[in-house]
Amino acid sequence: MNDSFVHFTHADLLSIAPEIALLVAGCLILLVEAFAPALRRWFATIALAGVAVSLYFLVNAPAGTTFGGRYDTSPLTVFVGLFLGAAAVLAILVSRPYLERAGEERGEFYALLLWGHLGVSLMTRGLDLILIFIGLETLSLAFYVLAGFFRRVAASSEAGLKYFLTGAFGSAFTLYGIALLFGASGGTKLEELVRPGLGGNPAVAFGLLFLLVGFGFKMSLAPFHAWAPDVYQGMPTPAVAYLSVAPKGAALLVLFRVFSAVFQDGLPDRFRAGLAALAILSMTLGNVVALAQRDAKRLLAYSGIAQMGYVTIALVVFGRDALAAALVYFCAYLVSNAGAFAAVSALYRDETKAHPVALLAGAGRRAPFAAAVFALCLFSLAGIPATAGFIGKFFLFKAALEKGFYALALIGVANSLVSIGYYLKVVYILYMRDPVETEAPPALALADRLALALCAAGILAIGIFPSTVWEVARHAAATLPFAGP
C-alpha cells in the first residue's frame, strides 16, 4: 500500500513514451482532419513523425521492466519495436499515394494504423496476459475497421466482416486460454507461469493451446489461416502491408514468451509434434494453394501462410537461438513482404478493384522500378541467396538442423521449391508476358518510391551483410524473459 492512490514512476512514463507518442500522433491527425482539413497532405508526415518519436523513445528507454514487471523494455522489445516501427513506416509511406489515388485520404486511416501499431506494441512488450490481450484487441479493432475502410467497396466491407467474425471468434479462445492460465497460475503476469510442474497441468495445456490457436490465427498459420486471403484481398493494400507482417511477428513473440515461461526445460514432445504439424501444414498448404492463385494479394496471402509455416519451425526448435533465428527471419520477411505489398500498391491503378496478377503483364516495362523491386521481393521470399529471405532461411534451417530437426528442414526446403513455382510465375508475368494494359501507369509517387527503395535496400543489406542483424537479434533474443536456461 502506497501513499498515493496512483503508482506511477518516471521510468514507467519513459517506458510507455513510445505508445504515448503514437497515441498523440493519432489524435493530432484526427484533430487536424477535423479543424484544418486543408492540411490533409501532412497526415502521413505527422504519422511518420509519430512513429519516429516513438522509436526514439523506444530505443532510449532504460532496459528492464516497468509497471511492476508487467512491461518489458529489454533489448528484445527494442528489436521487435524497431521491426514493428519499420513496418509502420513502410505502411504509412505506401498509404499516402494509395489513399490519394483512391480518393480516400482520411485521417482516420492513419490514426487507426498508428493505434493498431500501438496495440501490437503492447502485445510485444506486455508481460501480462491481460495486457497482451488488450494490445491484441486494440490491434484487431483498428484493423477490423481498416479492412472495411473503403465503405464504397463491397469487397472491403466483406473483408471487414470476415476479419471481424473470425477475429472475434479467435479472441474468445484467446481469452478463455488466458482464463485457464490465470486459474492455474494464480495471476496474469507471465512470471507467474514460471512454476515447476505447471506444464503438466491439463488446464495449462488447454490454455496454451487456446493461446496458440488465438495467436496462430493472427499469424495466419494453417489451419487458422482461412481469413487471411479474403481479408488481404479486400483490405486497403497499405494496411495489408502492415497486417501481413507486424502482428505476425508480435504473435510469434508472444507465443515464444508464454511457451518458454511455462516450459522451462524445453517443449514437451506432444507440443513439439503439434507445432511441427502446424508448421508443415502451413508451409505445404500455403505453397500449394498459392500456386493456384490468380490475384496478387491472395497469392501473397498464401505465401505469407507458408512463410509462417517456416518460421514456426523456430518455435518447434525452441530456445533463444531459435528465437534469434525467428527474429532475423521476420526482419527478412518484413522487407520482402511489405515490399511486395508496397509494389502491389504501386502497380495497380484502381485501388478498389481486384488485383489479378495477369494485369501486371508487361509491368517490367511500364513501371520498371516497382516491378524490379517486386521481383526482388519475390526472390527474397523464395529465399534466393544474396537476398534477405535467404538469410532468414539460413538461420532458421541452421537452428533446426542444430537441434536435429532434419525432417522439418527437409520438408522446409522441399516447400521452398514449390514456392519458387508461384513466385517465378509472378516474375514471369511482370517481365515476360505481353502487356494487356497499354496505358502508361501514373508516375510512381515519391513515397512509393521511397518505400520500395527502402525495402530493396533492406533486402540487399540483410542479404549481403547479415552479420549485423544476426548479432543484434542474438543479443535481443538473449533477453527473452523467463525462458529456461
Partner 1 sequence: MERLVFDAAALLAMLFAGVMVVSRDPVKSVLALVVSFFALAVCYVMVLSPFIAGLQVIVYAGAILVLFLFVLMLLNVGREQPDGMPRPIQTVLGSLAVFVFAGLLLGMLRASGSKIPLLTDGLDPVEMARPAELARLLFSDYLLHFEAVSVLLLAALVGAFVLARREDAP
Partner 2 sequence: MDALLHDHLLTLVVFIPAAGAALLLLFPRSAEGAARNLALAVSILDLAVSLPLWTRFALTQEGFQFREKLAWVPQLGISYSVGIDGISLLLVLLTTVLTPVALLFSLTHVEKEVRGYSIAFLILETGMLGSLVALDLVLFYVFWEVMLVPMYFIIGIWGGPRRIYASMKFFLFTMAGSLLMFLAILFIAIRYHAATGLWSFALEDVTRLTFTGYTETLLFFAFALAFAIKVPVFPVHTWLPDAHTEAPTAGSIILAGVLLKLGVYGYLRFALPLFPDAALRYAWLVGLLGVIGVVYGALVAYAQHDMKRVVAYSSVSHLGLVVVGVGAFTTMSLSGAVLQMINHGLSTGALFLLVGVLYERRHTRELDAYGGIAAVVPVTTALFLIATLSSIGLPGLNGFVGEFTILLGTWLSPHRWWAMAAATGVVLSAIYMLTLVQRVFWNPFANEANRTLTDIRPSEFIAAATLVVLMVWIGVRPNDVLDRIRPAVETLQKSVAARQIAEAGR
Partner 3 sequence: MIGSIPLSDVLLASGALFAIGVAGALLRRNAIQIFLSIELMMNAANLALLGYGAALGTHEGQIVVFFVIAIAAAEASVGLAIFVALFRHTETIDVNKINLLKW
> Which entry of partner 3, partner 1, partner 2, none binds 329, CB below 5 to 8 A by partner kind?
none
> Which entry of partner 3, partner 1, partner 2, none binds 71, CB below 5 to 8 A by partner kind?
partner 1
Site for partner 1 contains 212 (CB under 8 A): no
User: Which string of x and - marks every residue 165-184 that binds partner 3 (by CB under 8 A)?
Assistant: x--xx-xxx-xx-xxx-xx-
> Residue 171 or residue 312: which is nearer to partner 3 going by CB?
171
Alpha carbon of residue 269 to chain centroid: 28
Site for partner 3 contains 148 (CB under 8 A): yes
Residue 371, classed as helix, strand or coil, is helix
> Which entry of partner 3, partner 2, partner 1, none binds 471, CB below 5 to 8 A by partner kind?
partner 2
Pick the binder of partner 2 from 17, 39, 384, 460 (CB under 8 A). Answer: 384
Q: Which amino acid is at 126?
A: G
Is residue 389 within 8 Å of residue 381, measured between CB atoms? yes
Q: How far apart are CA 298 and CA 292, in angstroms?
A: 10
Report angle CA 349, 234, 295 to the nearest 5 degrees: 65
CA distances, 373 to each of 285, 296, 370, 443 (Å): 26, 15, 5, 15
Q: Which of 176, 405, 412, 395 is nearest to 269 (CA)?
A: 405
Alpha helices in 362-485 (DSSP H): 363-366, 368-382, 388-402, 406-432, 446-464, 466-477
> Residue 82 or residue 288: which is nearer to partner 3 going by CB?
288
Give the dihedral sign, CA 203/205/210/211. positive
Q: How many CA atoms lie within 13 A of 85 on its CB side?
A: 22
DSSP codes, 173-222: HHHHHHHHHHHHHSSSBGGGG--TTGGG-HHHHHHHHHHHHHHHHHHT-T
Site for partner 1 contains 184 (CB under 8 A): yes
Q: Which amino acid is at 310?
A: Y
Pick the binder of partner 2 from 421, 436, 442, 457 (CB under 8 A). Answer: 421
Pick the binder of partner 1 from 21, 70, 93, 338 (CB under 8 A). Answer: 70
> Residue 151 or residue 365: which is nearer to partner 3 going by CB?
151
Site for partner 1 contains 142 (CB under 8 A): yes
Element (H, E) at 66: strand 65-66
Cell of residue 153, nine digits: 467497396
Pick the binder of partner 1 from 56, 206, 369, 431 (CB under 8 A). Answer: 206
Q: How far apart are CA 317 and CA 145, in angstroms?
A: 36
Which residues inside 187-216 make contact with partner 3, applying CB under 8 A? 187-188
Q: How far apart are CA 105 and CA 140, in angstroms?
A: 22
Least spacing, CB of residue 370 vs partner 2, in Å: 14
Using N-to-C axis directions, what is the helix angle for 246-262 and 202-219, rounded to 10°? 170
Pick the binder of partner 3 from 67, 109, 115, 133 (CB under 8 A). Answer: 133
> Residue 172 or residue 291: which is nearer to partner 2 going by CB?
291
> Which entry of partner 2, partner 1, partner 3, none binds 233, CB below 5 to 8 A by partner kind?
partner 3
Exposed e or buried b per residue across 326-356, where buried means at least 16 C-beta atoms within 10 angstroms of its C-beta = bbbbbbbbbbbbbbbbbbbbbbbeebbeebb
Residue 295, classed as helix, strand or coil, is strand
Least spacing, CB of residue 26 vs partner 1, in Å: 8
Site for partner 2 contains 397 (CB under 8 A): yes
Q: How far apart are CA 35 and CA 362, in angstroms?
A: 44
Least spacing, CB of residue 441 vs partner 2, in Å: 15
CA distances, 69 to each of 12, 39, 77, 130, 481 (Å): 10, 42, 14, 13, 11
Cell of residue 186, nine digits: 494464480
> Residue 141 or residue 193: which is nearer to partner 1 going by CB?
141
Pick the binder of partner 1 from 81, 85, 116, 286 (CB under 8 A). Answer: 116
Number of residues that bind partner 3 (CB under 8 A): 39
Number of residues that bind partner 1 (CB under 8 A): 48
Residue 71, classed as helix, strand or coil, is strand
> Which entry of partner 2, partner 3, partner 1, none binds 410, CB below 5 to 8 A by partner kind?
partner 2
The region of 94-102, 200-208, 240-248, 356-364 touching partner 1 under the rule CB under 8 A is 200-208
Pick the binder of partner 1 from 3, 8, 10, 443 (CB under 8 A). Answer: 8
CA distances, 348 to each of 3, 147, 245 (Å): 60, 18, 21
Q: Binding residues for partner 3, per CB under 8 A? A: 130, 133-134, 137, 141, 144-145, 148, 151, 154-155, 157-162, 164-165, 168-169, 171-173, 175-176, 178-180, 182-183, 186-188, 229-231, 233-234
Q: Binding residues for partner 1, per CB under 8 A? A: 2, 5-8, 12, 16, 19, 23, 27, 30, 33, 37, 67-68, 70-71, 106, 108, 111-112, 115-116, 118-119, 122, 128, 130-131, 134-135, 137-138, 141-142, 144-145, 148-149, 151-152, 160, 183-184, 201-203, 206
Q: Binding residues for partner 2, per CB under 8 A? A: 364-365, 368, 379, 384-386, 390, 394, 397-398, 401-402, 409-410, 413-414, 416-417, 420-421, 424, 427-428, 431-432, 466-467, 470-471, 474
